[in-house]
Amino acid sequence: MAEEHDASMMNNLYWWGIPTFFRAPNDGPEGADIALVGVPHSTGNGTTERDQHLGPRAVRNMSAVQRRVHGGFGIDPWTRKVVDVGDVPFPRANDNEHCIQQITDFYTKIDASGARPVSIGGDHSITGGIVQALGNGKIARGEPISFLHLDAHTDVFTKVDHFLGAEKSAAHWGAYLADQGKVDPTRSMQIGLRGHPRTLDWLQPSYDYGYNVVTMADYRRRGAADVIAEAKEVLAGRPVYITFDLDCLDPSVAPAVSNIEPGVKGFDIDEAIALIHAARGLNIVGGDVVCMMPTKDSPNNITAMVGGAIMFEMISMIAENVPV
């Protein structure tokens, strides 16, 4: 009994032991309910500092303390089989197009195993690689996925064919996944877009593809309940993929983020979590947290912990759908 108590004490200390995501065992996805994945990829977005590949290690370092029960849902998600499957290998890390294909190959195997991936990037280009595998895949039962996408930016750029040489870049995935039929934009939500854009028509590609767009200004005007109700209606009955760009949060909540938008207040943590809970009870095929810049984090590692907190909500919503 005393030994059990001691082990439990030590396992909750983030600084003790060998870091894995939420202290999950490092194992393959076969037979697992949820596969936690690191995607240490930075070359899909060179428009700010390029340290987003350090995100997975930052969350592994902090998340042992976040291996908790979900008080709001009244469940212990860790009673399901949750594994840390490691990182996507990037032997040509400076070649974005090669990396995106590596991601797709890695997630094609996860999809075949039936485990649902919850990932930490990496820049936002990783979502393109992941959904190239999950869209119309096994977990999605052959259907295109629907996005629940929280972000300060649309990531549906169509007017430039590359960003600093990256074609399937952090700005392009919302467009090319729709072109490929991997996502149904008309049954997807983009929420939280804000800040002063480079061009006045920046939302037009999202509208042209049929995405359901809720800018931050719309959200403030309409209120949370109305937007959550719309999201539930749009996503109902669909395989849902949640993609969470940390820049949707206010910089005071998550300072270590690329492409930070300081001019307009972002979501606070409760607002963001309430929005992703719009997918609660739906067929969530996976989710990701992207654009963490650990080299800019504060000494308390708050952004790494916020990233972990968002992953915990995704894990808990998926776990809730899995029988114990």
d(CA 108, CA 131): 9
Structure letter (DSSP) for residue 18 = -
Minimal distance, residue 31 CB to Mn ion, in Å: 33
CA angle 305, 311, 312 (to 5 degrees): 85
Contact segment (CB under 5 A) with Mn ion among 5-13, 61-69, 116-124, 306-314 equals 116-124
Minimal distance, residue 84 CB to Mn ion, in Å: 24
Minimal distance, residue 324 CB to Mn ion, in Å: 35
Residue with tokens 């197009």, as numbered in its chain: 97
Minimal distance, residue 43 CB to Mn ion, in Å: 15
List binders of Mn ion among 224-283 (CB under 5 A): 245
Minimum CB distance to Mn ion smaller for 87 or for 245? 245
Minimum CB distance to Mn ion smaller for 66 or for 127? 127
Binding letters toward Mn ion, positions 44-83, x by CB under 5 A: ----------------------------------------
d(CA 297, CA 67): 21
Minimum CB distance to Mn ion smaller for 23 or for 149? 149
Strands (E) in the chain, as ranges, are 34-39, 82-87, 116-121, 146-150, 189-193, 212-215, 239-245, 283-290
List binders of Mn ion among 168-207 (CB under 5 A): none
Distance of CA 284 to the CA centre of its chain: 12
Minimal distance, residue 247 CB to Mn ion, in Å: 7
d(CA 120, CA 48): 19
Contact 233, 275 (CB under 8 A): no
Minimum CB distance to Mn ion smaller for 151 or for 313? 151
Contact segment (CB under 5 A) with Mn ion among 72-80, 119-127, 134-142, 199-207 equals 119-127
Binding letters toward Mn ion, positions 125-164, x by CB under 5 A: --------------------------x---x---------
SS3 277: helix
Minimum CB distance to Mn ion smaller for 33 or for 155? 155
User: Which one among 124, 149, 182, 238 touches Mn ion, defined by CB under 5 A?
Assistant: 124
Minimum CB distance to Mn ion smaller for 54 or for 126? 126
For 176, the enclosing helix (H) or strand (E) is: helix 173-179
Contact 51, 9 (CB under 8 A): no
Minimal distance, residue 273 CB to Mn ion, in Å: 18
Q: If binding is defined by CB under 5 A, does position 123 make contact with Mn ion? A: no
DSSP string across 249-270:
B-TTT--SBSS---SS--B-HH
Number of residues this chain uses to bind Mn ion (CB under 5 A): 4
Q: Calculate the alpha carbon distances from 12 to 5, 7, 25, 80, 116 in Å.
A: 11, 9, 15, 19, 25
Query: Which phi and psi angles does 58 have, rounded to 5°?
Result: -60, -40
Minimum CB distance to Mn ion smaller for 82 or for 231? 231
Minimal distance, residue 198 CB to Mn ion, in Å: 15
Minimal distance, residue 291 CB to Mn ion, in Å: 6
Q: Give me the residues that bind Mn ion (CB under 5 A), please.
A: 124, 151, 155, 245
